[in-house]
Amino acid sequence: VQLVESGGDLAQAGGSLRLSCAASGDIFILVSAGWYRQAPGKRRELVTTISNAGSETYADSVKGRFVVSRDNSKKNWYLQMDSLKPEDTAVYYCYAKIQSGPLRSAREYWGQGTQVTVSS
């Protein structure tokens, strides 16, 4: 299984960016998906998750500004980031919990990360 992110860029405060993550490989069930981020000198933190049923969770710091979504194939998901702030600057990692077969346990997978930089 591979996860590939795209969409990281430089944006101005108040602007918007949209990140995409595409999963490929042996995917029987995409149990959950989401995004983490890691700013310089800080620990990786959860940004948002979306379950197979479409249930969403968000970090308090991004509620009302970021929206996670997934497409009908449920192998791609997205992070729409609006009203960006300089403190949103970080490397963003897509994440997924995937069951590769009917008799296999779900495992966690990570993308390689994409840089988001927000200037003030």
Per residue in 46-99, pLDDT (tens digit) is 999 999 888 999 999 999 999 999 986 769 999 999 999 999 999 999 999 999
b/e sequence 48-79, b meaning 16+ C-beta within 10 Å: bbbeeeeeeebeeebeeebbbebeeeebbbbb
What average pLDDT does the chain have? 95
What local confidence, expressed as pLDDT, does residue 84 receive?
98
